[in-house]
C-alpha cells in the first residue's frame, strides 16, 4: 500500500470502519429477512445465563440445576395445575421427555403459581402420568430468574446453561383456538437445532397461556378490597360458573385461590374475554347480560394494581346458595344419565361429535318448567345439545332443525321458564344428545346428566317451543373472509312471544344477526353478534318478551371467515359446506317462542307446518313467495305442478293446497 492509495493512516482506518459498518448492516438485514414469518418475537435481550437453583418436587425430593450438569440440554417448562393450555400440553411434553432422554436432554417442570399447592402438584403429576420432575417454585424465585410470565412457557438451556430458546411449545393450541396439527413445532425445532450443533433458527416466540400467579405485596390501606367490593362483583357476574363443581377452571369464592389469578383475571376482563358476552349493546336488552361496565372493569384493575388486597374479612358477603351441584333453583324431579357407560376421551386429537339416545320411559306428555344439562367431566365437555324425537319411525341421523330441547355450553346458566310457561316432551319420545368433547392432555372419562323439573298441564298458560331459521344449502369458498349466508324462519301462524335466541355456527363463524320481519315490511334488529365465538354458544334471553303478530318471520344473517387470518380456521384452502363436525359448518338461528296454550289447542302450530317451512327454506328475497329462480333445477318439475296459475311464482296458499292434496293420497 503506497502513499497514493491513502494520504494518511487515519483516513485508511476511517474507510475500514465504514466498510465494516456496511457489512454488519447487510448481515443484520439478511438475518432479519431470514427470520421474517417464523413467529419469532423481537428480543432486545442478549443470551442469558441461568445460574443454579434448588427446588423440591411434589414428593419432597430436592432437585438442583447443577445435578444435571452431564446433560447436553435442559428443558425447563413453567406449568400450572389449573391452566387449561398447560393441561393440553402435558402428554406432549411427557412424550418429548421420553424421546430425547437417550440424547442427553433433561426436562424439568416448574410450578410457580402461589395457589398451586404441593397436593395440587402431586395430583397433577399422577393424573397426567408425568415421569419428569415437577418442582414447586416457592415465592416464584425461579420464575423471576427466568423472567417467565405464563404457563405453559418453555426454555431450552445449552450445555453452559444459557437460554437458547424461550416461548411456546408449538402453535396448535391458543386462547380459544385448536388446530388439527401444529404448523410450527417451536420447542422441538430448538432442541433439534442444538443437538445438531447449529444455532437455534427461531430463538424466541410469544408464549400464550395463563399468567403466572406470583406472590404479591398488597397495600392494606387501599379502599378497593376483595372482601368488600371485588367479592360482591364476582358474585354478581362470575360465581355461577366459577365455583366448585362447575365448568370454570378455578373458583372465585376463596381469597387464597383468587389472589393467585388476580393478574390473569384483570387481563381477560380488560380484553373482554370474560365474562363471555358477545352481543352488541346497541340492539336488545337481555336479562342474562353478564358483561362488565367500564366502572366495574376499572374496579378490578385498581384492585390488582394495589396488589389484590384481601381487606377486612368481616365485610365478606354471605355465600351464594345453590341447589347442590345443580344450577337450577331446586333439585330436578327427574335425572337421566346421557351415556349408559363412561365415554373415554382420548388425551389428544380431535374427536367427532358423539350422539347418545336415552329412553326416559314417558308414556304420557311431560311438561317441563326448567331443564339443565350437567357435564360429568367439565374438563372435556365443550358443549351438549339435547333434542326430542319419537321413538317409533326415528331417522338414523338427528335433524338439528327440529326437536331442540336444551343445551349446555360453558357460561350458559340455565333458568326456569317464566311462570305459566313450559316445554312439552310428547309421550313415547326419546332424548337425543349431541356431545362435543375436547381432549385435555390426559385420557378422561365422562358420564353427563340431564335434569328436568316438571309442572302440571293445568298450570300451563303458554307453550314454549324452539324454532329456527336454518340454511343447509351453502358452500363457503376457500379463502373467503366475509361470506354471507341468510335464512328465514317459518311465519308465525298465531301471535307468539319471542323469548330467547341462540345462534349456532362452527369454527369459521364470524358474525350473526337476528331481524324480525313484521307483516307490512317493517324490520327490526333484535340481536347482533359482531364477533361470534364458537367457544361460547350463548342463549340470549330477552329482558321482556317481544310480541310477534301472525305472519311475522325471523330473518338471520351470518358471515363466515374461511381465510388464513381466522385463527380458528382448520383449513382455509378448501370450500366448506354443511356438516356435523366442527371442521364443517352450520347456519342455525335457534329461537324460543311462547304460544298461548289451552288443552283444546294442543295441536296448533305456532310457526307453521310443511308449507311454511318450504317458504322459509327457499324464499331468498323474503317476499313470502317462492319464485322459479329461487329453487334448485332438480325441483323445477315439482314447482311447475304446484304453480297452478303458471305465473312462475308459488304462494303459501298454493303450497297448502298441494300439501292437502298430497295428504289425501
Cβ pair 190, 246 in contact under 8 A: no
b/e for 66-96, b at 16 or more Cβ within 10 A?
eebeebbbbbbbbbbbbbbbbbbbbbbbbeb
Average pLDDT over residues 292-319: 90
Cα Rg for the chain, rounded, in angstroms? 30
pLDDT score, position 24: 42
Measure Cα distances from 233 to 222, 256, 337, 341 in Å. 17, 17, 35, 40
pLDDT above 70 for 659: no
Q: Could you say which DSSP state residue 409 is in?
A: -
User: Which of 3.80.10.10, 3.20.20.80, 3.40.190.290, 3.40.30.10 is the CATH number of 54-211?
Assistant: 3.40.30.10
With a pLDDT cut of 70, the percent of the chain lying above it is: 85
Give percent of the chain with pLDDT exceeding 90: 53
What residues contact 239, with CB distance under 8 A and at least 6 apart? 251, 252, 253, 320
What is the distance between the terminal CA atoms of the chain, rounded to a whole angstrom?
111
Beta strands in 359-448 (DSSP E): 366-374, 381-390, 404-408, 421-425, 429-437, 444-446
The average pLDDT across 187-215 equals 95
> Are the C-beta atoms of 108 and 74 separated by less than 8 Å?
yes
The domain defined by 323-439 folds into Jelly Rolls (2.60.120)
pLDDT of 270 > 70? The answer is yes
Q: What is the pLDDT of residue 509?
A: 96
Q: For 461-623, give the CATH class.
A: mainly beta
pLDDT tens digit sequence for 590-649: 999 999 987 766 544 455 566 766 766 677 676 777 887 777 766 766 777 777 777 777
624, burial (CB in 10 Å: exposed 0-12, middle 13-18, buried 19+): middle
pLDDT per residue as tens digits for the range 230-265: 999 998 888 877 877 776 778 888 888 888 888 999
CA pair distance 347, 350, nearest whole angstrom: 10
pLDDT number for residue 288: 87
Mean pLDDT in residue range 28-36: 37
Q: How far is CA 594 from the centre of its chain?
A: 30
> How much is the pLDDT for 300?
94
| Higher-confidence position of 494 and 158 | 158
Q: pLDDT tens for residues 501-522?
A: 999 999 999 999 999 999 988 9
DSSP state of 417: P
Between 101-110, 183-192, 331-340, 388-397, the lowest mean confidence (pLDDT) is in 388-397
Q: What is the distance between the alpha carbons of residues 498 and 484, in angstroms, rounded to a whole number? A: 25
Amino acid at each position: 500500500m503506497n502513499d497514493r492509495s491513502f494520504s494518511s493512516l487515519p483516513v485508511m482506518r476511517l474507510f475500514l470502519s465504514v466498510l465494516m459498518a456496511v457489512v454488519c448492516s447487510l448481515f443484520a438485514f439478511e438475518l432479519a429477512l431470514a427470520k421474517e414469518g417464523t413467529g419469532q418475537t423481537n428480543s432486545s435481550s442478549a443470551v442469558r445465563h441461568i445460574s443454579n437453583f434448588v427446588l423440591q418436587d411434589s414428593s419432597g425430593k430436592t432437585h438442583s440445576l447443577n445435578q444435571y450438569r452431564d446433560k447436553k440440554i435442559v428443558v425447563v417448562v413453567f406449568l400450572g395445575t389449573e391452566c387449561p393450555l398447560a393441561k393440553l400440553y402435558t402428554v406432549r411434553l411427557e412424550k418429548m421427555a421420553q424421546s430425547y432422554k437417550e440424547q442427553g436432554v433433561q426436562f424439568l417442570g416448574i410450578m410457580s403459581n402461589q395457589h398451586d399447592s404441593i397436593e395440587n402438584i402431586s395430583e397433577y403429576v399422577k393424573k397426567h402420568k408425568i415421569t419428569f420432575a415437577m418442582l414447586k417454585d416457592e415465592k416464584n424465585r425461579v420464575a423471576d430468574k427466568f423472567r417467565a410470565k405464563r404457563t405453559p412457557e418453555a426454555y431450552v438451556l445449552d450445555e453452559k446453561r444459557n437460554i437458547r430458546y424461550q416461548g411456546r411449545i408449538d402453535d396448535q393450541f391458543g386462547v380459544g383456538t385448536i388446530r388439527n396439527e401444529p404448523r410450527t413445532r417451536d420447542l422441538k425445532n430448538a432442541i433439534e437445532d442444538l443437538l445438531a450443533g447449529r444455532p437455534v433458527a427461531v430463538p424466541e416466540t410469544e408464549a400464550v397461556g395463563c399468567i403466572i400467579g406470583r406472590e404479591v405485596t398488597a397495600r392494606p390501606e387501599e379502599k378497593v378490597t376483595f372482601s368488600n367490593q371485588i367479592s360482591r362483583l364476582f358474585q354478581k357476574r362470575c360465581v355461577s360458573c366459577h365455583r366448585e363443581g362447575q365448568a370454570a377452571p378455578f373458583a372465585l369464592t376463596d381469597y387464597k385461590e383468587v389472589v393467585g389469578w388476580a393478574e390473569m383475571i384483570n387481563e381477560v376482563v380488560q380484553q373482554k374475554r370474560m365474562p363471555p358476552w358477545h352481543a352488541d349493546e346497541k340492539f336488545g336488552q337481555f336479562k342474562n347480560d353478564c358483561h362488565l361496565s367500564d366502572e366495574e372493569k376499572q374496579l378490578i384493575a385498581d384492585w390488582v394494581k394495589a396488589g389484590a388486597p384481601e381487606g377486612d374479612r368481616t365485610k365478606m358477603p354471605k355465600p351464594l346458595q345453590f341447589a347442590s351441584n345443580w344450577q337450577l333453583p331446586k333439585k330436578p324431579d327427574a335425572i337421566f344419565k346421557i351415556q349408559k357407560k363412561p365415554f373415554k376421551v382420548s388425551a389428544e386429537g380431535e374427536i367427532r361429535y358423539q350422539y347418545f339416545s336415552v329412553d326416559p320411559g314417558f308414556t304420557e306428555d311431560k311438561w317441563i318448567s326448567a331443564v339443565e344439562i350437567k357435564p360429568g367431566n367439565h374438563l372435556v365437555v365443550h358443549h351438549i345439545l339435547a333434542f326430542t324425537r319419537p321413538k317409533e319411525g326415528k331417522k338414523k341421523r338427528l335433524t338439528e332443525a327440529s326437536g331442540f330441547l336444551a343445551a349446555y355450553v360453558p357460561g350458559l346458566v340455565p333458568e326456569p321458564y317464566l311462570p305459566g310457561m313450559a316445554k312439552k316432551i310428547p309421550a313415547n319420545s326419546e332424548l337425543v344428545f349431541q356431545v362435543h368433547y375436547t381432549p385435555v392432555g390426559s385420557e378422561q372419562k365422562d358420564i353427563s346428566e340431564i335434569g328436568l323439573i316438571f309442572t302440571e298441564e293445568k298450570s300451563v298458560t303458554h307453550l314454549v317451543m324452539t324454532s329456527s331459521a336454518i340454511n343447509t344449502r351453502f358452500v363457503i369458498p376457500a379463502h373467503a373472509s366475509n361470506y354471507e349466508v341468510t335464512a328465514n324462519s317459518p311465519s308465525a301462524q298465531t301471535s307468539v312471544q319471542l323469548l330467547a335466541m341462540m345462534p349456532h355456527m362452527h369454527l369459521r363463524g364470524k358474525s350473526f344477526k337476528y331481524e324480525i320481519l313484521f307483516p307490512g315490511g317493517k324490520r327490526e334488529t333484535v340481536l347482533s353478534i359482531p364477533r361470534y365465538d364458537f367457544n361460547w354458544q350463548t342463549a340470549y334471553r330477552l329482558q321482556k318478551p317481544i310480541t310477534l303478530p301472525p305472519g311475522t318471520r325471523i330473518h338471520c344473517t351470518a358471515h363466515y371467515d374461511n381465510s388464513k387470518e381466522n385463527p380458528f380456521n382448520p383449513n382455509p384452502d378448501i370450500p366448506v359446506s354443511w356438516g356435523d363436525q366442527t371442521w364443517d359448518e352450520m347456519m342455525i338461528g335457534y329461537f324460543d317462542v311462547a304460544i298461548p296454550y289451552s288443552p283444546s289447542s294442543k295441536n296448533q302450530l305456532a310457526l307453521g307446518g310443511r308449507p311454511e317451512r318450504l317458504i322459509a327454506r327457499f324464499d331468498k328475497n323474503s317476499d313470502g313467495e317462492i319464485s322459479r329462480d329461487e329453487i334448485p333445477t332438480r325441483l323445477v318439475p315439482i314447482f311447475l305442478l304446484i304453480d297452478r296459475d303458471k305465473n312462475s311464482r308459488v304462494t303459501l296458499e298454493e303450497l297448502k293446497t298441494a300439501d292437502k292434496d298430497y295428504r289425501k293420497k
